[in-house]
Amino acid sequence: MRATNLPLTSSSLNYFAVAVTLEEITDQNREAVLALRVAPGQERFVSSVEDSLAAVADYPQANPWYRAVFASGEPGPVGFVMMSWNCEPQPPEIIGPYLLWKLLIDQRYQGRGYAAAVVRQIAELVRAEGATELLTSYVPEDDWFAGFCQRLGFVPTGEYDNTGEVITRLALPSA
């Protein structure tokens, strides 16, 4: 089995050495975070950072938690991640309690393992909070993200959110 096909389990969470840090968006990094862009053709699947931050105001009941993604050796942020953090689920609009809501890696930094490193770090953070699962969703036509989720061990739940996105679940075994 190739390493890229390993499910995200407690033994594979630290398999790869790509290092990312999740940092608050500040006055010093806000402009660079807002400038992050996905590759052409991905815009229909991934909302911009600006649109994602607007959703924070629209859905306060989702307990939005968001961070800039930084990678060692890179001059600025490489991505953005947003979660519903320990919210009260209100399906199909609010999925939770822990939902990986937004994940954007800038087009200049894609293909380097940063997205998987972010998911591994998020999984560890929510596991430390006592969560037994991490949810995410994807547009059914987004074959790349569907495969990415599958490679990390996410499994479709058979449910859809209010926009028709497929909801997937990653079991988080206790450490």
41-53 residue pLDDT tens: 898 999 999 999 9
Q: Counting runs of H as helices and runs of E as strands, what totals does the chain give?
A: 4, 7
CA 140/CA 69 separation, integer angstroms:
26
- Domain limits at 134? 3-171
Nearest to 62 by CA among 120, 118, 22, 101: 101
Strand order of the sheet with strand 99-105?
20-23, 64-71, 77-84, 99-105, 133-138, 166-171, 155-160
In residues, how long is the chain? 175
pTM attached to this predicted model: 0.87
Q: What is the pLDDT of residue 6?
A: 37
Q: What is the pLDDT of residue 28?
A: 96
The burial class, CB within 10 Å (0-12 / 13-18 / 19+), for 95 is buried
CA 7/CA 15 separation, integer angstroms:
11
Query: Which CATH number do you get for residue 146?
Result: 3.40.630.30
Nearest to 76 by CA among 38, 113, 125, 34: 34
Task: Say how many domains are in the chain.
Answer: 1
Q: Where are the alpha helices (DSSP H) in the chain?
A: 30-34, 49-58, 114-128, 143-152
pLDDT one-digit tens code per residue, 69-110: 999 999 999 999 999 999 999 988 899 999 999 999 999 999
pLDDT above 90 for 146:
yes
Rounded mean pLDDT, 151-170: 96
Amino acid, res. 132: T
- Per the model's pLDDT, the better-predicted residue between 175 and 120 turns out to be 120
Distances (CA, A) of 138 to 11, 21, 133, 135, 164: 26, 24, 17, 11, 9
